[in-house]
Amino acid sequence: MLGPYIHRIDPIIASIGGLHIWWYGLSYALGFLQLYLFVKRHRRDLQMTRPEVYVLALMVGVGVLIGGRAVEVSFDEWGFYRQHPKLMPALWLGGMATHGLLLGAGAGTWLFASVYRKPFLKLADALVVPGAFLMGVGRIGNFIDGQIIGSITSVPWAVQFPYATGFRHPVVLYDGLKNLLLVPFLLRVRRANRTPGAVAARFVFWYAFPRIFIDLLRDYPTHRLALGTGQTLNLIMAGIGIVLLIRSRMRRLGRLKPLPVYKEPDLASRDGAPSAGLRVAFASLLFFCLTIPSNWTQDIPRHYGARHSGLRHSWFYPEIEATPVPPTA
């Protein structure tokens, strides 16, 4: 019989030379690997060489990490990082914001399209499919780390998290399920609607709009922005999604200025094996992702140090004085 669940999962898979491998970080590595495999499988339709597939995966991956970190530092933990500026790039100390991940992915895709003269909307339509998968498995990583809690509830599937009182809604699992359900929906749209930007527009809207209601069940602090940073960004993103849906519809009806036509190159003459440097760089990105925990930097030693003494103080995990501000990532 289904009943309340007491969360006792260790968020750390293993330790290598004092550096910890996290389940949350594994979700990023799997997501980026799935993105690479998806683009590789569809590269002929996207008119991409094998080296370009690696470059795109790297640009998007690095963009995701920079974007997620930048929004986290700027909004969610600014009070802490203002006092510890040297820790801003230390992703292995935790701290990523989901809306920043999306912003960074979009920036990485745009940069690749600009440099390699590819149609941005066509790339965006393809990448939102593995992007939804990444956001789904990332939420599973959030749950394993015991981070992001919902409001207190008596539903049969309620969870008692390690660092909160009472049984609560597992809101990250609700959001993760929503993200994973987007994958078959986006694939169906991709088959049925070839209008450039149609799939991406639906991702933007249907990622954000249901999350507004999911986040109503979340234990959200309301510092900095009145509704909480995440909920405010949900509303903004849903509004942008509506605009993109309208523009996609108008483009399909021929009411917008035609998009630039890119001359498709002779793929066979340009294709070749990716360099060893590209392979090593992508493998390094995947390994680095394994070191990323989902919790706030200031909470890592306090929350996980009891089970893993290396988190209390080492070269990788310096002594941190926690700032009493609840997480909002």
Report how far apart the first and last C-alpha atoms of the chain are (Å, whole number): 33
Which residue's structure tokens are 């008692």?
Answer: 160
**How confident is the model at residue 95, as a pLDDT?**
79
SS (H, E, C) 278-316: HHHHHHHHHHHHCCCCCCCHHHHHHHHCCCCHHHCCCCC
- The whole model's pTM is what? 0.88
Residues 6+ apart with CB under 8 A from 205: 238, 241, 242, 244, 245
Token couple for 269? 């003459």
Name the nearest CA neighbour of 301 among 311, 314, 315: 311
Q: How far apart are CA 84 and CA 135, in angstroms?
A: 29
pLDDT of res. 319: 60
Residue 133 is which amino acid?
F
Beta strands in the chain (DSSP E): 5-6, 12-16, 19-22, 159-160
User: Would you put residue 169 in left (φ > 0), alpha (ψ -120 to 50) or beta?
Assistant: beta
pLDDT score for 179? 97
d(CA 34, CA 151): 33
**Predicted local confidence at residue 326, as pLDDT:** 44
Q: Hey, is 43 helix, strand or coil?
A: coil
Return the amino acid letter for 182: L
Tokens of 60: 């998007």
> Do 303 and 10 contact (CB within 8 A), yes or no?
no
Q: List per-residue pLDDT tens for the chain, 329 residues long.
A: 456 899 999 888 998 877 889 999 999 999 999 999 999 999 999 999 999 999 999 999 999 999 999 998 888 788 888 888 888 888 887 778 899 999 999 999 999 999 999 999 999 999 999 999 999 999 999 999 887 889 999 999 999 998 889 999 999 999 999 999 999 999 999 999 989 999 999 999 999 999 999 999 988 665 445 566 788 889 999 999 999 999 999 999 988 888 777 776 677 667 888 999 999 999 999 999 999 987 666 667 667 766 676 665 555 556 655 444 444 44
Q: Which residues pair with 50 in a beta bridge?
A: none
* Predicted pLDDT at 221: 60
